[in-house]
């Protein structure tokens, strides 16, 4: 029975993006199990303030933002008497470290996978080879699990489907914040929101697509306004693009914001749009930003789903889908959604309570020896 798990993560607390959020949710759910005594985390990066770390969770210090310190800390664990009964590897690239620790502690490895990073073999051959040694797999998507199992040739692995979740109550508490509306002059605006990292290697995830059609859309919806939340090394390019297309007056680049402010902004939005058109863009509908959009009462516009296992999920009907490469279709769908009233979606099957139940079920099925 799992009592003292060890987590290796790229980022989590003080992290950014969906993987960091999932790691935090998973760690929290594991720590809340009555079977678990303590949880130890070692993570590679910290971008922002750590935020609240749950009880029973210890974050190993002085390992972040330095590959050398991270490696030395891993080596240090090999000479300590403290033991762990499960090693969670929260990214394929960390597999060599997870394997070494599993040998030291004589315990199983749990790998968590998300999207395109696990669809094909990585550039790290040793990490790919070690994927055959994994005992358990946690995945947010059946499609990703099938792709991973096929290339890794790990036929004996036990995998658990635990998709993203959202705390709907947190987003329901704040609605139509007047201070934010006044501060950013958003009165009577029909607001489209996109939220996510803006990284050079991660272009065309939804922001470009809205910037490109914003002028045409503004001719049909006079009071349309676009808010982009997030930061990264691609932000300057997007800002320049907005100026070049002469739509910068219709866009607010907010950068990174606190969770509270993000929820306040969401309360004013009409449509959450992440219509990524990049060929490798993961069209996973349960992206955190999409779930948060629904929880805030917004309509969610996303790229058309193209995998059979996704199409069979009835909950996906809550998301409005569009061909991200068809600008006319995006404009038409946005006009339709911006004219509709906001909605109160039933997200009971996607809430954190259900997520926690699935994690508890997983814990009961893991043998630590």
pLDDT category at 203 given cuts 50, 70, 90 is confident
pLDDT category at 133 given cuts 50, 70, 90 is confident
- Position 14 scores a pLDDT of 83
Domain 5-165+351-364 identical in fold to domain 168-345 = yes
Q: Is the pLDDT of residue 233 over 80?
A: yes
Its pTM stands at 0.87
CB 69 within 8 A of CB 63: yes
Q: Which of 89, 97, 111 is nearest to 159 (CA)?
A: 111
CATH code for residues 168-345: 3.40.50.2000
What are 28-66's pLDDT values in tens digits? 999 999 999 999 998 888 887 778 888 899 988 877 777
Give exposure, 87-98, as e/b (b: 16+ Cβ within 10 Å). Answer: bbbbbbebbebb
- Position 150 scores a pLDDT of 93
- Position 174 scores a pLDDT of 66
Q: Is the pLDDT of residue 176 over 80?
A: no
Q: 73 or 280: whose pLDDT is higher?
A: 73
What are 238-261's pLDDT values in tens digits? 999 999 999 999 999 999 898 888
Mean pLDDT score, 198-210: 90
Q: Is the pLDDT of residue 210 over 90?
A: yes
Q: Which of 289, 282, 290 is nearest to 307 (CA)?
A: 282
Q: Taking the domains of the chain in order of start, what are their residue ranges?
A: 5-165+351-364, 168-345
Distance CA 213, CA 220 (A): 11
DSSP-H helix ranges across the chain: 18-31, 67-77, 95-105, 125-130, 142-152, 168-172, 178-183, 207-220, 235-244, 259-266, 288-295, 308-311, 327-338, 352-364
Q: Cα angle at 62 between 56 and 67, to 5 degrees?
A: 120
- Under DSSP, the state recorded for 60 is P
Distance CA 105, CA 97 (A): 12
**Which homologous superfamily does the CATH classification assign to the domain defined by 5-165+351-364?**
Glycogen Phosphorylase B; (3.40.50.2000)
Q: Is the pLDDT of residue 315 over 90?
A: no
Q: In this prediction, what percent of the chain has a pLDDT beyond 90?
A: 59
């Amino acid at each position: 029975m799992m009592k003292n798990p060890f987590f290796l993560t790229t980022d989590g607390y003080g992290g950014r993006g969906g993987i960091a959020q999932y790691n935090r949710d998973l760690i929290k759910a594991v720590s809340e199990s009555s079977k678990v005594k303590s949880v130890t985390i070692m993570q590679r990066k910290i971008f922002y303030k750590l935020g609240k770390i749950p009880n029973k969770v210890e974050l190993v210090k002085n390992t972040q933002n330095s590959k050398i310190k991270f490696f030395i800390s891993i080596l240090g664990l090999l000479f300590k008497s403290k033991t762990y009964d499960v090693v969670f590897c929260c990214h394929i690239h960390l597999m060599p470290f997870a394997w070494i620790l599993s040998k030291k502690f004589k315990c199983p490895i749990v790998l968590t996978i998300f999207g395109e990073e696990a669809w094909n073999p990585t550039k790290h051959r040793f990490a790919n080879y070690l994927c055959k040694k994994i005992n358990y797999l946690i995945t947010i998507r059946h499609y990703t699990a099938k792709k991973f199992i096929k290339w890794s040739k790990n036929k004996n692995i036990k995998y658990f489907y635990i998709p993203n979740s959202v705390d709907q109550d947190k987003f329901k508490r704040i609605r139509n914040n007047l201070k934010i509306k006044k501060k950013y002059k958003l009165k009577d605006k029909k607001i489209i929101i996109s939220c996510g990292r803006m990284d050079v290697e991660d272009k065309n995830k939804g922001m470009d697509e809205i910037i490109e059609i914003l002028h045409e859309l503004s001719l049909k919806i006079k009071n349309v306004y676009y808010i982009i939340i997030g930061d990264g090394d691609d932000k300057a390019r997007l800002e320049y693009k907005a100026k070049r297309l002469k739509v910068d007056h219709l866009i607010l680049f907010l950068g990174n914001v606190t969770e509270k402010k993000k929820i306040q902004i969401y309360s004013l939005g009409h449509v959450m749009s992440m219509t990524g058109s990049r060929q490798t863009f993961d069209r996973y509908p349960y992206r955190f930003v999409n779930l948060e959009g629904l929880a805030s009462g917004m309509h969610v516009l996303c790229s058309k789903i193209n995998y059979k296992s996704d199409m069979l999920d009835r909950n996906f009907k809550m998301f409005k889908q569009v061909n991200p490469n068809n600008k006319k279709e995006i404009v038409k769908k946005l006009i339709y959604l911006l004219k509709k009233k906001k909605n109160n979606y039933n997200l009971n099957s996607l809430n954190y309570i259900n997520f926690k139940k699935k994690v508890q079920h997983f814990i009961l099925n893991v043998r630590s020896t």
